[in-house]
Amino acid sequence: MSENTKSANLVWEGNGLAFRALGGSGFQLRFDNPSGPEGASPMELVAVASGACTASDVISILQKKQQPVIGFEVNVIGLRATEHPKVFTEIDLEYVVTGHQIDSKAVERAIELSLTKYCSVNLMLEKAVKINHRY
């Protein structure tokens, strides 16, 4: 399978809406609905994917720009429609960057590059949902 192909296999656990998922990379996780400490809901994982994709881009760009980042996180809030299908209507991304003498222009540019060029998850999602961001 080429690197341009992603795969997953989901197996029902035989009770409720719990599934074990195995990604093509070998990574395993558990889905459950409603979500809880044993498994995430599919929509939670969409929010996680949104944050993880942009987080990887932004921290990579800041490292290449030699910014002295000592802490970094992305907080994601997905606002859902009240009626079915309960799709995300907005996704809010809050970037929290800490370090010494970090150039705010470098942070702005890293976020911009992630959201307009590199982050495939958010570039795909923005076709269906408004994505807001701040840092």
Tens of pLDDT along 46-88? 999 999 999 999 999 999 999 999 999 999 999 999 999 999 9
pLDDT of residue 1 exceeding 80, the answer is: no
- At 51 the pLDDT is 98
> Alpha-carbon distance 26 to 40, whole Å?
18
- At 18 the pLDDT is 93
Q: SS3 of 134, please?
A: strand
Angle at 59 between CA 77 and CA 130, to 5 degrees: 30
56: CB partners within 8 A, 6+ apart: none
Kindly tell me the burial class for residue 31, based on how many C-beta atoms sit within 10 Å of its own C-beta (0-12, 13-18, 19 or more).
buried
Cβ–Cβ < 8 Å for 111, 65: no
Global confidence as pTM: 0.92
102-126 tens-digit pLDDT: 999 999 999 999 999 999 999 999 9
